[in-house]
Structure 1
Amino acid sequence: MKILVTGGNGMVGKNILEHEKAIHYFLLAPSSTDLNLSDYTSVDNYLKEYQPDFIIHCAGLVGGIQANIARPVDFLVCNLDIGRNIIMAAKNNGIKNFMNIASSCMYPREAQNPLQEELILQGELEPTNEGYALAKIVATRLCEYIVKENSSLQYKTIIPCNLYGKHDKFSNKDSHMVPAVIKKIYEAKQNKATEIDIWGNGLARREFMYTEDLVDFVYFALEKFDQLPQNINVGLGFDYTINDYYQTIAGVIGFDGKFVHDLTKPIGMRQKVVDVTKLKQLGWEHKTSLEEGIKKTVEYFKIAILHD
């Protein structure tokens, strides 16, 4: 099977390409020079030339709370253009199978946890990443509309919880929480700091899954794509507090200083954990524990730092 993986240079894309099952498929992972997803003509021409059997769409502009707050226009428009172009070009070129990888940020901020797939557009979004969420909702709905108009097409959406792992961004400004905290605590230990600040009271709850687990599901789904529901959550089905993540990361790195809570900083949604009922019905669940995933990610981070 010839599969086009968009976003092959991102965290999820790189893990897809490196997975042990990748050798069973012919994977196309063009750079942005070869495939400009922001330009419909470029996408259309690429699909006409290479004619993939299947598309896994995981490209996008991503970032943590600070990046989303600072650049809402970019996070909306860039992701909106990318999603629309690849989905419509796939449809217009007769590609029957499309896996759209979205995000649990699409769920309403006040929705009852665990978050069920049917809750999309059932309430107001979290303001700190609303632009990104809106773009992902549009792509998800577009896949639904396409299937509604033509039931012979399988354009389905995977909704992962928050992710971390190899090939993540380790930056104070652009990262999601786990890689940002790994960098912060690692540098604090290197600098012999005695305390670290935590945004908010640390009691907000988050569900972070190791990226390799998501990629395991991607390959699982490739083999059972006709059995997947239209939209499906992929996550742990349980969560941890922000304080738990800080303490686990500190334990792995060996930082023994104290934590100070900065109550002036935004914390986002107080809880966000996905419902995994449909996932379990398919017979799949994650494999990597939090401590094991953090250990692997810290090791990768150390290698990345030394390489830079």
Structure 2
Amino acid sequence: MKILITGSNGMVGKNILEHPKAIFHDFLTPSSSELNLTDFLQVDNYIKKNQPDCIIHAAGLVGGIQANIARPVDFLVTNVDMGRNILMAAKDNNVKNFMNMASSCMYPRHAQNPLKEEMILQGELEPTNEGYALAKIFSTRLCEYINKENPEFQYKTVIPCNLYGKYDKFKPEHSHMVPAVIKKIYEAKQNNSPEIDIWGDGLARREFMYAGDLADFVFYALDNFKSMPQNINVGLGYDYTINEYYEAIAGILDFKGKFIHDLTKPVGMKQKLIDDSKLKSFGWKHQTSLEDGIKKTVEYFKSAVLND
């Protein structure tokens, strides 16, 4: 197929493009300077000109908890504009297949874990990333509405759990937990620091999947798109505490210092574990263990980030 992938320069996009099965498709990979997703006319013209068979929407303004708290307007408006423009331009130009990449942050903050796809909009959102979550809900619902009005338009949403891996962002203002902790512990070891601080008590639970596994799911889904559910969680189906992630990363980096918990800092949701029932029924399972995924990510950090 000829596939337009938005966000081809991001972590998800790069992992998709370097997957072994990528050679079987013709990928359109415009940069943000070549295709401004916040400009509907530009998006419409690009799709009209290139006529993709399928679109994977993986672009977005993303960041960690600090960035989301500081810039909620940007995280809401920019992501809503991107989602609306790419979806409506695809529909207007008769693109029949659309894979929308959403996020498990769409689920209500007090929802019972594991989080089922039907729980979207069933309660209030986590305030620390509400703007981003609302934008993702908007695109997810728009896919549902387009499909409901005309089932020929297979516009479906993938809801990954938290991701980490090659091509991740390691700068504190942009990074999510795993790359931030890798950088923090690496620097602490380099500086012979005796201790490292952890936000909160470290008992909040998180599900992080290696980004290469999400890329593998994408190609499995492309081969089985008609049978893929309208909305599908993609993750491990189990989680770890923040403390366990710190311990795993410290072990791989051979950091021997102590962990100090800063109870004044925000921690977000206490748990965010996806329900993988539909994923199992669909027939796909992740392959990368936490230890292997962190090792690969640390290798990438040392070779690509530190030498940049």
- Range of TM-score over shorter length: over 0.9
1:84 paired with 2:68, answer no
CA RMSD, 1 decimal = 0.5
**Equivalent residue runs for 1:170-181 within 5 Å:** 170-181=170-181
Q: Is the 8 A contact 1:162 1:207 kept in 2?
A: yes
**Equivalent residue runs for 1:193-272 within 5 Å:** 193-272=193-272
1:33 paired with 2:33, answer yes
Using the TM superposition, give the Cα deviation of residue 173 of structure 1 relative to its aligned residue in structure 2, in angstroms: 2.0
Taking structure 1 as the reference length, the TM-score comes to 0.99
Give the letter for the 2:72 counterpart. Answer: P
Using the TM superposition, give the Cα deviation of residue 174 of structure 1 relative to its aligned residue in structure 2, in angstroms: 1.5
**Equivalent residue runs for 1:43-82 within 5 Å:** 43-82=43-82
Q: What CA distance in whole angstroms lies between the structure 1 residues aligned with 2:43 and 2:174?
A: 27
Using the TM superposition, give the Cα deviation of residue 7 of structure 1 relative to its aligned residue in structure 2, in angstroms: 0.2
Q: How many residues align?
A: 308
Give the letter for the 1:46 counterpart. Answer: Y
Task: State the match for 2:142 in structure 1.
Answer: 142
What are the superposed Cα offsets for residues 49-100 of structure 1, whole Å, 9 maximum, x if unpaired? 1000000000000011000000000000000000000000000000000000
Using the TM superposition, give the Cα deviation of residue 34 of structure 1 relative to its aligned residue in structure 2, in angstroms: 1.2
What are the superposed Cα offsets for residues 124-154 of structure 1, whole Å, 9 maximum, x if unpaired? 0000000000000000000000011001110
Using the TM superposition, give the Cα deviation of residue 307 of structure 1 relative to its aligned residue in structure 2, in angstroms: 2.4
Q: Is the 8 A contact 1:203 1:243 kept in 2?
A: yes
Q: What CA distance in whole angstroms lies between the structure 2 residues aligned with 1:42 and 1:231?
A: 28
Q: Is the 8 A contact 1:172 1:184 kept in 2?
A: no
Q: State the secondary structure of the residue aligned to 1:307.
A: coil
Task: State the match for 2:299 in structure 1.
Answer: 299
Using the TM superposition, give the Cα deviation of residue 213 of structure 1 relative to its aligned residue in structure 2, in angstroms: 0.4
Q: What CA distance in whole angstroms lies between the structure 2 residues aligned with 1:305 and 1:53?
A: 35
Q: What CA distance in whole angstroms lies between the structure 1 residues aligned with 2:111 and 2:195?
A: 35
Q: State the secondary structure of the residue aligned to 2:157.
A: strand
Give the letter for the 2:201 counterpart. Answer: N
Using the TM superposition, give the Cα deviation of residue 171 of structure 1 relative to its aligned residue in structure 2, in angstroms: 1.3
Task: State the match for 1:280 in structure 2.
Answer: 280
Using the TM superposition, give the Cα deviation of residue 227 of structure 1 relative to its aligned residue in structure 2, in angstroms: 0.3
Q: Is the 8 A contact 1:3 1:28 kept in 2?
A: yes
Unpaired segments ≥5 residues, structure 1: none
Give the letter for the 2:172 counterpart. Answer: N
Using the TM superposition, give the Cα deviation of residue 217 of structure 1 relative to its aligned residue in structure 2, in angstroms: 0.2
Q: What CA distance in whole angstroms lies between the structure 2 residues aligned with 1:67 and 1:277?
A: 32
Q: What CA distance in whole angstroms lies between the structure 2 residues aligned with 1:173 and 1:155?
A: 33
Give the letter for the 1:296 counterpart. Answer: K
Task: State the match for 1:104 in structure 2.
Answer: 104
Q: What CA distance in whole angstroms lies between the structure 1 residues aligned with 2:43 and 2:202?
A: 43
Q: Is the 8 A contact 1:158 1:233 kept in 2?
A: yes
Task: State the match for 1:116 in structure 2.
Answer: 116
Q: What CA distance in whole angstroms lies between the structure 2 residues aligned with 1:274 and 1:204?
A: 15
Q: What CA distance in whole angstroms lies between the structure 1 residues aligned with 2:123 and 2:28?
A: 38
Taking structure 2 as the reference length, the TM-score comes to 0.99
Q: What CA distance in whole angstroms lies between the structure 1 residues aligned with 2:307 and 2:16?
A: 22
What are the superposed Cα offsets for residues 192-226 of structure 1, whole Å, 9 maximum, x if unpaired? 10100000000000000000001100000000000
Q: Sequence identity of aligned pairs in percent?
A: 74
